[in-house]
Amino acid sequence: MEKIITSYHPTEDGFYGEFGGAFIPEMLHANVAELQEVYLNIMNEPSFQREFDDLLRDYVGRPSPLYLAKNLSAKYGANIYLKREDLNHTGAHKINNTIGQILLAKKLGKKRIIAETGAGQHGVATATVCALMGIECVVYMGEVDIARQAPNVLRMKMLGATVEPATSGSKTLKDATNEAIRDWINHAENTHYIIGSAIGPHPYPDMVTRFQSVVSEEIMKQMEEKTGSPYPDYIVACVGGGSNAAGAFYHFLDNQDVKLVLAEAAGKGINSGHSAATSILGSEGIIHGCRTLLMQTDEGQIVEPYSLSAGLDYPGIGPMHAHLIKSGRAKVYAATDDEAMTAVMELCKEEGIIPALETAHALAILGRMDLKSTDQVVVSLSGRGDKDLNTFINYMNAKAN
Ligand SMILES: *Cc1c(COP(=O)(O)O)cnc(C)c1O
Full-model pTM: 0.96
Nearest CA to ligand 1 atom 7: 243
- Per the structure, how many domains does the chain have? 2
Give the number of C-alpha atoms closer than 13 A to the C-alpha of residue 136, restricted to the C-beta side. 9
- Using the atom order of ligand 1, give the atom closest to the CA of residue 92: 13
Whether residue 87 sits in one domain with residue 149: no
Q: What is the DSSP letter of 383?
A: B
**Contacts (Cβ under 8 Å, ≥6 apart) of 3:** 9, 40
Q: What is the pLDDT of residue 314?
A: 87
- Using the atom order of ligand 1, give the atom closest to the CA of residue 240: 8
Residues 121 and 141: their CA atoms lie apart, in Å, by 11
Residue 250 or 149, more confident: 250
- Using the atom order of ligand 1, give the atom closest to the CA of residue 246: 9
Mutate to test the pocket of ligand 1, among 128, 238, 307, 384 (most ligand atoms within 8 A of CB): 238
Residues 202 and 10: their CA atoms lie apart, in Å, by 9
Helix (H) or strand (E) holding 209: helix 204-212
Residues 179 and 340: their CA atoms lie apart, in Å, by 32
Tell me the CA distances in angstroms from 398 to 197, 269, 279, 401, one per residue in order.
32, 18, 29, 5
Contact 311, 387 (CB under 8 A): no
- Residue 187 falls inside a structural domain: yes
Of 185, 207, 229, the residue at which a domain comes to its end is 207
Residues 49 and 1: their CA atoms lie apart, in Å, by 9
Residues 21 and 59: their CA atoms lie apart, in Å, by 33
Whether residue 265 sits in one domain with residue 198: no
- Residue 3 falls inside a structural domain: no
**pLDDT above 80 for 4:** no
Q: What is the pLDDT of residue 6?
A: 56
**Whole-number average pLDDT of the chain:** 95
Beta-bridge mates of residue 260: 235, 330
* CATH number for the domain that contains residue 263: 3.40.50.1100
- 242 CA to centre of ligand 1 in angstroms: 7
What confidence tier does 149 reach under pLDDT thresholds 50, 70, 90? confident
Nearest CA to ligand 1 atom 2: 311
Whether residue 261 sits in one domain with residue 195: no
Torsion of CA 166, 171, 174, 175, to 10 degrees: -40
Whether residue 39 sits in one domain with residue 65: no
- Residue 10 falls inside a structural domain: no
Percentage, residues of the chain above pLDDT 90:
90
Helix (H) or strand (E) holding 329: none
To 5 degrees, how large is the angle CA 7–CA 12–CA 15?
A: 55
* φ, ψ for residue 332, nearest 5 deg: -120, 135
Whether residue 46 sits in one domain with residue 171: yes
Q: Is 240 in the pocket of ligand 1 (CB under 6 A)?
A: yes
Contact 1, 44 (CB under 8 A): yes
* φ, ψ for residue 52, nearest 5 deg: -65, -50
Whether residue 175 sits in one domain with residue 77: no
- 97-118: per-residue pLDDT in tens? 999 999 999 999 999 999 999 8
E strands present in 65-220: 66-68, 79-84, 112-117, 136-142, 162-166, 191-193
Tell me the CA distances in angstroms from 251 to 87, 225, 235, 236, one per residue in order.
22, 17, 11, 14
- 314-351: per-residue pLDDT in tens? 899 999 999 999 999 999 999 999 999 999 999 999 99
Q: Is 244 in the pocket of ligand 1 (CB under 6 A)?
A: yes
The whole-number average pLDDT for the span 121-145 is 96
Of 173, 207, 241, the residue at which a domain comes to its end is 207
Q: Is 321 in the pocket of ligand 1 (CB under 6 A)?
A: no
- Residue 4 falls inside a structural domain: no
Q: Is 101 in the pocket of ligand 1 (CB under 6 A)?
A: no
AA letter at 31: N
Q: Is 388 in the pocket of ligand 1 (CB under 6 A)?
A: no
Of 184, 207, 230, the residue at which a domain comes to its end is 207
**pLDDT above 50 for 5:** no
- Residue 201 falls inside a structural domain: yes
* φ, ψ for residue 120, nearest 5 deg: 105, -10
Tell me the three state secondary structure of residue 220. Answer: helix
- 401 CA to centre of ligand 1 in angstroms: 30
Whether residue 191 sits in one domain with residue 227: no
User: Picking from 160-174, 197-211, 228-242, which range would have the lowest pLDDT averaged per residue?
Assistant: 160-174
Whether residue 19 sits in one domain with residue 154: yes
Residues 110 and 164: their CA atoms lie apart, in Å, by 20
Q: Is the sign of the CA dihedral 13, 14, 18, 22 positive or negative?
A: negative
Q: What is the pLDDT of residue 108?
A: 96
- 262 CA to centre of ligand 1 in angstroms: 12
Beta-bridge mates of residue 346: none
Q: Is 382 in the pocket of ligand 1 (CB under 6 A)?
A: yes
Residues 234 and 262: their CA atoms lie apart, in Å, by 10
**Contacts (Cβ under 8 Å, ≥6 apart) of 130:** 102, 113, 136, 137, 159, 160, 161
- Residue 131 falls inside a structural domain: yes
Q: Is 317 in the pocket of ligand 1 (CB under 6 A)?
A: no
Nearest CA to ligand 1 atom 3: 311
Residues 346 and 5: their CA atoms lie apart, in Å, by 40
Nearest to 170 by CA among 147, 194, 139: 147
- Residue 19 falls inside a structural domain: yes
Whether residue 202 sits in one domain with residue 234: no
Residues 367 and 326: their CA atoms lie apart, in Å, by 24
The whole-number average pLDDT for the span 196-225 is 98
Q: Is the peptide bond before 232 cis (omega within 30 degrees of 0)?
A: no
Q: Is 359 in the pocket of ligand 1 (CB under 6 A)?
A: yes
- 257-299: per-residue pLDDT in tens? 999 999 999 999 999 999 999 999 999 999 999 999 999 999 9
Whether residue 164 sits in one domain with residue 285: no
Whether residue 111 sits in one domain with residue 20: yes
AA letter at 210: R
* φ, ψ for residue 169, nearest 5 deg: 55, -135
Residues 368 and 374: their CA atoms lie apart, in Å, by 16
Mutate to test the pocket of ligand 1, among 358, 386, 388 (most ligand atoms within 8 A of CB): 358
- Residue 370 falls inside a structural domain: yes
Q: Is 241 in the pocket of ligand 1 (CB under 6 A)?
A: yes
Whether residue 389 sits in one domain with residue 296: yes
Residue 333 structural domain: 61-91+213-400
Q: Is the sign of the CA dihedral 185, 187, 190, 191 positive or negative?
A: negative
- 141 CA to centre of ligand 1 in angstroms: 17
- Residues taking part in catalysis: 94, 116, 382
**pLDDT above 60 for 132:** yes
